[in-house]
Each structure stands twice: as structure tokens, then as C-alpha cells.
Amino acid sequence: MHRDLSPSELDTLIRMIEVLPEPLRGQLLAQVPFVSASDGLPGELRLSVERSAPRADVKDGVLPVSGLARTQDGRPIGHFTIWMSDGRFFSLDLGWVTEQVPDELPPIGSLEVRWHGEG
């Protein structure tokens, strides 16, 4: 069953897209209003994009961007990756580095985002 993204899920997705270069950033931001979610495994948020949304010019697999979440004192909480399939969002994954599986996303202010491309 699909649902709207929560505010924190939406904020995380947008925050990670914003560091990408154009035209990819614009292509992915154009998909955001068409994204819904279905829960996957712990730490994996399956994403679905309506077919009417434009596809991005991007390869299948991991998007070249990552987000590292830290506690207020700088300890890592977890790390985010975005997966793509057929030019559309496929999943937003959180690999946690804490002893317990988180039951909510880390605060957006704790997220350090990096693009892993050229230029």
C-alpha cells in the first residue's frame, strides 16, 4: 500500500537532491510531487513515482550522493543513499551505525550531504 512521504522523509529526499548539479537536480526535483512510499525492510523506504512524472537521465543503481547523520556531539547515527531505477526514485535507504534500529529519521539538521561526482 502506498502513502505520502512524511515531512521528514520528504525533507531528507529534497536535501540530498539539492547538492546535485543541473540538469539532474531539476529532473529529480520535478519527480518529488509524484513520489509515494511503501515501507520496506528496516532502514529501507521503497519509493514509487507516478508514470506521468518525467524520468531523469540517470543510470540505475545508487545516486552519486550520500548523507551522513550525526548526533549533536558529532557521533555518526547513520548514512543515507538513494537508489534509482528506470530514471525514477526506487528507494531511500538508511544504514544505521547505532546499536538499535532507528524508529524515525534523524533530524534534517544533523544531515551532512555530499555529491560524489565530478566538477
Residue 52, pLDDT above cutoff 50: yes
Does residue 1 fall inside a structural domain?
A: no
Does residue 48 fall inside a structural domain?
A: yes
Q: Domain of residue 25: give its range.
A: 7-115
Report the domain count for the chain.
1
Does residue 99 fall inside a structural domain?
A: yes
Does residue 111 fall inside a structural domain?
A: yes
What was the pLDDT predicted at 119?
47
Which segment of 7-16, 29-38, 71-80 scores lowest on mean pLDDT?
71-80
Pairwise CA distance, residues 42 & 15, whole Å: 21
Does residue 2 fall inside a structural domain?
A: no
pLDDT: which is higher, 42 or 5 = 5
Which segment of 11-15, 22-26, 48-52, 76-80 scores lowest on mean pLDDT?
76-80
The pLDDT tens digits of the residues spanning 60-117 come to 999 999 999 988 888 888 899 999 999 999 999 988 887 877 777 888 888 999 999 8
Q: CB-based burial of residue 4 (10 Å sphere; 0-12 exposed, 13-18 middle, 19+ buried)?
A: exposed
Global pTM exceeds 0.75: yes
